[in-house]
């Protein structure tokens, strides 16, 4: 077994305050190859022969931390919780235009299994990683800092051939080998199933389905989004509320925003999809080059030539809907080996064709700020990269120019 790839945590934070909507974008996590080179997106090597295996630990808190209609400790309670997990997975497998889609690839996601092991998720030290993908409700962790309701650990390969536990060897850099989601269980917060959320007790509980759907986005390689409507927004809906629409047979991906859908399509595109195939790219550069963020300690030959960390967003010009965006600021250099260069580049992929788009850029100064994207940003110059990270540039103003005749 070769050296292990990058391990990262993605957190869902507590937020019980209403905010005015803002429009920003989805991002994906990445891994720098062990031998050097440009960061590669983190994703599963999914196929019908290699489905996404998943399990959950039936060791749950006995203190009432999970509110269900079924009695605590009963078999019916486990069934009710399992249904929430199944529905949360179903949201992502309901997105059209992806190889995750249950209708197009019914075997891409393996059946949900149960384990009675209490500490079934990877531990804090990063040792004894089993290569199993697990959801745990009764496992303590130092990751539960103030305000964190749940978090996900993902282990990715930093070279082909890397394996961990029962994962099998990776086919490419960035292949996800292990994903574990831990839900807070110290009695400070209560989580409710869909059925129990509408009860009087559910008014003070967090919607378990919204939280798990968010965390499963991290399983798939997505980082946070600053679109408040997106399921990948880093803050939860307030107690007693849920995000978006509940999934239905007609709209299984109902809770997601277009931003979420475009993000997962970019990682798991369906080759037969002829609709979501549009791409828009470019560079964001300031009128005054002296306004660029400086490197803390420049690597030889490395310069910042564009705005780093801007959100570049594609909006449907006819409806005003945010369709997708990206965290802009870098591209892959032509050096040998290649590395990230901070030239202000952006690339928005898997856009629906046949629409008119408006493109705009904005700084990360909304409710979701640069620290909420720390994993996606720091991974660009991870182990093996011959580059240094510039600071996220938030000191720029956006001017709207009149349309050309």
pLDDT (tens digit per residue) in 160-174: 999 999 988 999 999
Confidence band for 294, pLDDT divided at 50, 70 and 90: low
Q: Is residue 327 part of a domain?
A: no
Contact 339, 333 (CB under 8 A): yes
CATH no. for residue 87? 3.40.390
What's this model's pTM, rounded to 2 decimal places? 0.91
Q: Is residue 328 part of a domain?
A: no
In this predicted structure, the answer to whether residue 154 has a pLDDT above a threshold of 90 is yes
Please tell me which of 284-298, 326-340, 389-403 the model is most confident about, judged by mean pLDDT.
326-340
- The mean pLDDT of 284-313, rounded to a whole number, is 78
Instruction: Specify the pLDDT at position 370.
Output: 85
pLDDT (tens digit per residue) in 18-46: 322 222 235 688 888 888 888 899 999 99
Instruction: Specify the pLDDT at position 219.
Output: 96
Q: Is residue 233 part of a domain?
A: yes
Confidence band for 1, pLDDT divided at 50, 70 and 90: very low
- The mean pLDDT of 78-82, rounded to a whole number, is 98
Domain residue limits at 102: 7-17+33-257
Instruction: Specify the pLDDT at position 297.
Output: 60
Distance from C-alpha of 298 to C-alpha of 336, rounded to nearest angstrom? 18
- Hey, CA dihedral for 71, 73, 74, 79, is it positive or negative? positive
Q: Is residue 107 part of a domain?
A: yes
Instruction: Specify the pLDDT at position 384.
Output: 60
Question: What's CA 334's distance to the chain center, in Å?
Answer: 29
Total domains present in the chain: 1
Distance from C-alpha of 218 to C-alpha of 296, rounded to nearest angstrom? 30
Percent of the chain with pLDDT over 90: 55
Q: What angle do CA 37, 38, 41 make, to 5 degrees?
A: 130
SS3 assignment, position 90: helix
Q: Is residue 399 part of a domain?
A: no
Q: Is residue 296 part of a domain?
A: no
Q: Is residue 67 part of a domain?
A: yes
Instruction: Specify the pLDDT at position 7.
Output: 41
Confidence band for 285, pLDDT divided at 50, 70 and 90: confident
Q: Packing angle between helix 75-93 and helix 208-219, nearest 10 degrees? A: 50
For the record, the structure tokens of 148 come out as 């964190």
In this predicted structure, the answer to whether residue 17 has a pLDDT above a threshold of 80 is no
Instruction: Specify the pLDDT at position 300.
Output: 65
Instruction: Specify the pLDDT at position 16.
Output: 35
* Out of 11-20, 92-101, 172-181, 300-309, least confident range: 11-20
In this predicted structure, the answer to whether residue 60 has a pLDDT above a threshold of 60 is yes
């Amino acid at each position: 077994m070769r050296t292990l790839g990058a391990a990262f945590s993605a957190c869902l934070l507590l937020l019980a305050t209403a905010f005015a909507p803002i429009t920003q974008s989805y991002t994906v996590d990445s891994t720098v190859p062990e031998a050097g080179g440009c960061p590669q997106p983190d994703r599963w090597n999914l196929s019908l022969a290699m489905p996404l295996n998943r399990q959950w630990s039936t060791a749950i808190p006995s203190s009432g931390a999970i509110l269900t209609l079924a009695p605590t400790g009963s078999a019916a309670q486990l069934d009710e919780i399992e249904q929430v997990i199944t529905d949360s997975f179903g949201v992502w497998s309901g997105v059209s235009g992806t190889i995750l889609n249950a209708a197009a690839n019914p075997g891409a996601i393996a059946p949900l299994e149960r384990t009675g092991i209490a500490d079934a998720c990877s531990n804090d030290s990063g040792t004894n990683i089993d290569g199993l993908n697990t959801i745990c409700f009764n496992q303590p962790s130092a990751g539960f800092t103030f305000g964190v309701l749940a978090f996900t650990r993902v282990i990715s390969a930093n070279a082909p051939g890397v394996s961990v536990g029962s994962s099998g060897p990776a086919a490419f850099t960035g292949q996800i080998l292990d994903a574990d989601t831990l839900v807070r269980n110290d009695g400070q917060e209560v989580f409710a199933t869909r059925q129990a959320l509408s009860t009087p007790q559910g008014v003070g509980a967090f919607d378990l389905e919204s939280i798990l759907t968010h965390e499963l986005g991290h399983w798939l390689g997505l980082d946070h989004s600053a679109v408040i409507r997106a399921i990948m927004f880093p803050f939860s809906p307030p107690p007693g509320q849920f995000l978006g629409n509940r999934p239905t047979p007609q709209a299984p991906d109902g809770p997601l925003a277009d931003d979420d859908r475009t993000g997962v399509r970019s990682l798991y595109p369906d080759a037969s999809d002829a609709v979501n195939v549009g791409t828009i790219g470019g560079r964001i550069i300031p009128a005054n080059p002296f306004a660029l963020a400086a490197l803390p300690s420049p690597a030889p030959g490395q310069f910042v030539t564009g705005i780093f960390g801007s959100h570049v967003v594609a909006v449907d010009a006819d409806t005003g809907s945010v369709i997708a965006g990206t965290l802009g600021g870098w591209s892959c250099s032509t050096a040998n080996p290649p590395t990230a260069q901070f030239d202000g580049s952006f690339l928005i992929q898997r856009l629906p064709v046949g629409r008119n788009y408006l493109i705009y850029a904005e700084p990360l100064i909304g409710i979701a700020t640069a620290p909420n994207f720390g994993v996606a940003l720091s991974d660009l110059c991870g182990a093996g990269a011959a580059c240094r990270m510039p600071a996220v540039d938030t000191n720029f103003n956006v001017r709207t120019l009149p349309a050309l005749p």
